[in-house]
Amino acid sequence: MTKAAALLLAGSLALVACASDEKDSGAGSKGGSDGDLKIGLAFDTGGRGDQSFNDSAVAGVEKAIKDLGGKVQELSPNDDASNRAELLTQLAEAGYNPVIAVGFNYDDVIAEVAPQFPDTTFAQVDGSNADGKKGDNVTGLLFAEEQGSFLAGVAAALKTETNNVGFVGGVQSPLIEKFQAGFQAGAKAVKPDIQVQVQYLSPAGDFSGFGDPQKGKLVAQGMYQNGADIVFHAAGGSGKGVFEAAVEAGKRAIGVDSDQYLTASPDQQAVIMTSMLKRVDNAVENFIKAYAEGDVEGATDIVNDLSTGGVGLATSGGYIDDIADQIKDFEKKILDGDITVPTKP
Amino acid sequence: MTALRRIGTSLAAPALAVVVAVVITTLVILLIGQNPLTALQVLVDFGETPAQQTQAIVVILNRAVPLFLAGLAVSVAFRMGLFNIGVEGQYRMATVIAAGVGAAVVLPAPLHVLLIMVVAMAVGALWAGIVAVLKVTRGVSEVISSIMLNFIALGTASYLLTGPLRGSPEGAAIITTKEIPESGRFPAINGLFDVLGLAQPRGQLFGFLVVAVLVGIAVSVLLKRTRFGFDLRATGLSPSAATASGIDARRMVIKTMLISGAVAGLIGLPDLLGRTHSFGTEFTAGLGFLGIAVALLGRNSPIGIAFAALLFAFLDRAAVPLQFADIPASVVTIIQGTIVLSVVVANEIARQLTRRRAEHSTGQAAPPVQEPAGPAGTRIDARQEAGA
């Protein structure tokens, strides 16, 4: 066996030695928006097809390409996401510009890679670079998730008949805690005595909570059995399980990130009351357009909140049309600064 | 003649496995409407410039080091017929505590690194020791207890990270332990490229590579050249025969699991000491399970595991360039999975052929089989666990 492996490896190394170098090179046109746009998009775990923020980022890039022309190279990390740095480096090396990293997990990696490519413009969805520590060429695309979640809490509190709602978080990380904090605050703002059940699918450091529909379903079932009639999830792919539980229990659920009503099956559409929108697509599209016009400063954050339409509630299905005015009121209070939504529960 | 024949059969199995894996992967790539030749070309194309090519080598070696250690940890227990599925939890606990200790103390450079390594090995050994104690005192299957301890390790590591060992500021998206100071880091060995007259890559080659090689040699010597290693292999081949010849099986279980756990404790250190310098929520997970696959592929011998780790790392490297060629990176996972499965099947076939031939030529009962790693049934289970 060992000898065979040795032979195999020797063989492959020999192949390497005479490997052809006819692969097309993109290193020719580096930096600047003089030619066609070459956008690099590095996904977070889950990659394309998560029906969540990775897909939303793709939608943003596609809209930008439709208006400006150009092309995109998408890259997903491997299963344990140990090659994130390689994704960004190889995109930058191949001349892709701007390079957009999706997810806060790129925090350390982008700080390591971006300074090596000063001519490339980077953006990171969900990652802050207000202090410029990640380099002058990195822009953070942030969202006020707590504000959107606050409105989701308001809607849930207005609609609940049992005075009991639930929150299912994917992974107990500071980002998801923003969703929880906003949701709780919103629910309590309408009904101070409301009971909000909170549960996370996995602890910090274990990302399985974003991709475990079975567990999402179990947890949501528990919440419905404990009297909740509306459950809000911020659990990525695990949210499918929450919807299934809602269908089986005949109760309702609130989606997250994108308008999940639009991608759900008909029986699930009946239970998805609304979705807390996080417009990653708009943020990405706007960033690319700003880049094309040469308006990207770097070392800043672009915060997408209620005032910019970066977060909000979806109205598909018309389940919250009757409380639209009350939601508007709360929205106005946040915009006017009468309500400051907490970011930590 | 027999030696030649033995080499022949031991070569036939993996060769068959690779052929089967290549055929299956080719079919899969054809099914998704891509060109298998393009995929092959991407696999072996390390880049145009010398710096890119050495960088590819760095990526492969840096990936292979933890995989090798993981495979080694699994194999030590395997050789005795013990199934240590808990490597995942062992290295997680070891890494988080080693990171905490490393950040808390100040020592001269070599001692600092040594302390972190000793702590990691001790924690890994202790965590594996729980499994061993449960097995010898209560007869709990190590498969069950080590799987369960993985979950406990995950939760405990998370508690330690978010609680007592938290070093990142409030509100930071990635929670990490405090940074290990300069003296506790393992220097890169990029000088190697200068010595060999190769271009300097942009990345850093883990200095921990040297430690991994030394650990590999140590384990190899321990297994093949010591009384302990003989006892261990004998117990693995036939527990009853070993007991009859005076080997204390219980003591062997505990010692073996402690060694396996100690090696497992090192898995996270290449990354911790060479790159991240802190343990965080995005620290690479899952290496313990990959280690099972690597150990199976390497047939539990340190050299075999080294090649298996390199092969896995070589395939992993292609994950990024494959996407540039519009081929999904999952192809890599498919190749790895089919290779391991085919190797397991091919080993079994080769084993039975050898046995049949032996029976045929001598007319006697089969001689003990070389390097069995637990019953065949458990091997298949291993792959399922690894894939789960």
B164-201 pLDDT per residue, tens: 999 888 777 788 999 999 999 999 999 999 999 898 99
Buried b vs exposed e over B27-46: b needs ≥16 C-beta within 10 Å? ebbeeeebebeebbbbbbbb
Phi-psi sector, A285: left (phi>0), alpha (psi -120 to 50), beta: alpha
Average pLDDT of the segment spanning A304-319: 92
**Inter-chain CB proximity B174 and A76 less than 8 Å:** no
As for the ipTM of the complex, it is: 0.80
What percent of chain B stands above pLDDT 90? Answer: 54
Give per-residue pLDDT as tens, A85-115: 999 999 999 999 999 999 888 988 999 999 9
**Inter-chain CB proximity A9 and B311 less than 8 Å:** yes
- One DSSP character per residue, B143-199 reads HHHHHHHHHHHHHHHHHHHHTTTB-SPTT-SS-BBPPPPGGGSPPP-THHHHHTTPP
Average pLDDT of the segment spanning A325-334: 94
**Inter-chain CB proximity A205 and B158 less than 8 Å:** yes
What's the CA gap between B203 and A88, in Å, rounded? 13
Least confident of B113-122, B301-310, B332-341: B332-341
| Residue B154 touches chain A, beta carbons under 8 Å | yes
Given this model, what pLDDT does residue A32 score?
A: 42
* Secondary structure class of A170 (helix, strand, coil): strand
What's the CA gap between A109 and B326, in Å, rounded? 24
| Residue B333 touches chain A, beta carbons under 8 Å | yes
**Inter-chain CB proximity A4 and B14 less than 8 Å:** yes
Amino acid at B16: L
Stated length of chain A: 345
Given this model, what pLDDT does residue B352 score?
A: 84
Q: Is the pLDDT of residue B105 over 60?
A: yes
Given a contact cutoff of 8 angstroms between Cβ atoms, the answer to whether A100 and A41 are in contact is: yes
Given this model, what pLDDT does residue A267 score?
A: 93
Q: What residue in B sits closest to A104 (Cα-Cα)?
A: B173
Identify all chain A residues contacting B343, using CB atoms and an 8 Å cutoff: 1
**Inter-chain CB proximity B282 and A105 less than 8 Å:** yes
Give per-residue pLDDT as tens, A270-280: 999 999 999 99
The residue among A230, A284, A212, A247 whose CA lies nearest residue A53 is A284
Given this model, what pLDDT does residue B372 score?
A: 45
What percent of chain A stands above pLDDT 90? Answer: 67
Q: Is the pLDDT of residue B367 over 80?
A: no
Q: Is the pLDDT of residue A30 over 90?
A: no
Least confident of A46-55, A68-77, B26-35, B106-115: A46-55
Given this model, what pLDDT does residue A31 score?
A: 40
Give per-residue pLDDT as tens, A279-308: 999 999 999 999 999 888 888 999 999 998
Average pLDDT of the segment spanning B59-69: 96
Of B63, B173, B202, the CB nearest to A127: B173
Question: Which pTM was predicted?
Answer: 0.83
Identify all chain A residues contacting B202, using CB atoms and an 8 Å cutoff: 89, 116
Average pLDDT of the segment spanning A265-273: 93
Q: What residue in A sits closest to B310 (Cα-Cα)?
A: A9
Average pLDDT of the segment spanning A123-144: 92
Average pLDDT of the segment spanning B300-304: 91
Least confident of A1-10, A53-62, B296-305: A1-10
Q: Is the pLDDT of residue B342 over 60?
A: yes
Which letter does DSSP use for residue A129 in this model? Answer: -
Q: What is the mean pLDDT of chain B?
A: 87
Q: What is the mean pLDDT of chain A?
A: 87
Q: Is the pLDDT of residue A7 over 70?
A: no
Given this model, what pLDDT does residue A10 score?
A: 44
Q: Could you tell me which residues come within 8 angstroms of residue B229 by beta carbon, excluding any fewer than 6 positions away?
A: B221, B222, B223
Given this model, what pLDDT does residue B9 score?
A: 62
The confidence band for A142, taking pLDDT boundaries of 50, 70 and 90, is very high
Residues 253-272 of B with CB under 8 A from A: 271
A52 against B289, higher pLDDT: B289
**Inter-chain CB proximity B45 and A1 less than 8 Å:** no
Given this model, what pLDDT does residue A170 score?
A: 93
The residue among A342, A324, A330, A27 whose CA lies nearest residue A191 is A330
Domain coordinates in residue numbering, chain B = 56-387
Q: Is the pLDDT of residue A9 over 70?
A: no
What's the CA gap between B387 and B296, in Å, rounded? 13
What's the CA gap between B269 and B272, in Å, rounded? 5
Least confident of A72-76, B219-223, B356-360: B356-360
Distances B309 to A17, A155, A182, B113, B225 between C-alpha atoms, Å:
21, 53, 46, 24, 24
Q: Is the pLDDT of residue B343 over 80?
A: yes
Q: Is the pLDDT of residue B368 over 80?
A: no
Buried b vs exposed e over B266-286: b needs ≥16 C-beta within 10 Å? bbbbbbbbbbbbbbbbbbbbe
Given this model, what pLDDT does residue B364 score?
A: 53
Distances B81 to A64, A207, B13, B224, B236 between C-alpha atoms, Å:
58, 32, 22, 16, 5
List Cβ<8 Å contacts ≥24 apart for A28-35. A28/A95, A29/A95, A30/A95, A30/A97, A30/A119, A30/A120, A31/A97, A31/A119, A31/A120, A32/A97, A32/A119, A33/A97, A33/A291, A33/A292, A33/A294
Given a contact cutoff of 8 angstroms between Cβ atoms, the answer to whether B261 and B334 are in contact is: no
Least confident of B50-59, B227-236, B356-365: B356-365
Give per-residue pLDDT as tens, A154-195: 999 999 999 999 999 999 988 999 999 999 999 999 999 999
| Helix locations, chain A, DSSP H | 2-17, 53-68, 84-93, 107-113, 145-159, 174-190, 213-225, 239-249, 266-269, 280-292, 324-336
Q: Could you tell me which residues come within 8 angstroms of residue B172 by beta carbon, excluding any fewer than 6 positions away?
A: A107, A174
Of B174, B307, B343, the CB nearest to A9: B307
Given a contact cutoff of 8 angstroms between Cβ atoms, the answer to whether B294 and B267 are in contact is: no
In order of start, what are the domains of chain A with their CATH numbers? Answer: 33-143+282-306 (3.40.50.2300), 145-278+315-336 (3.40.50.2300)
Q: Could you tell me which residues come within 8 angstroms of residue A243 by beta carbon, excluding any fewer than 6 positions away?
A: A253, A255, A260, A264, A268, A271, A272
**Inter-chain CB proximity A173 and B281 less than 8 Å:** yes
Class of domain B56-387: mainly alpha
Given this model, what pLDDT does residue A288 score?
A: 94
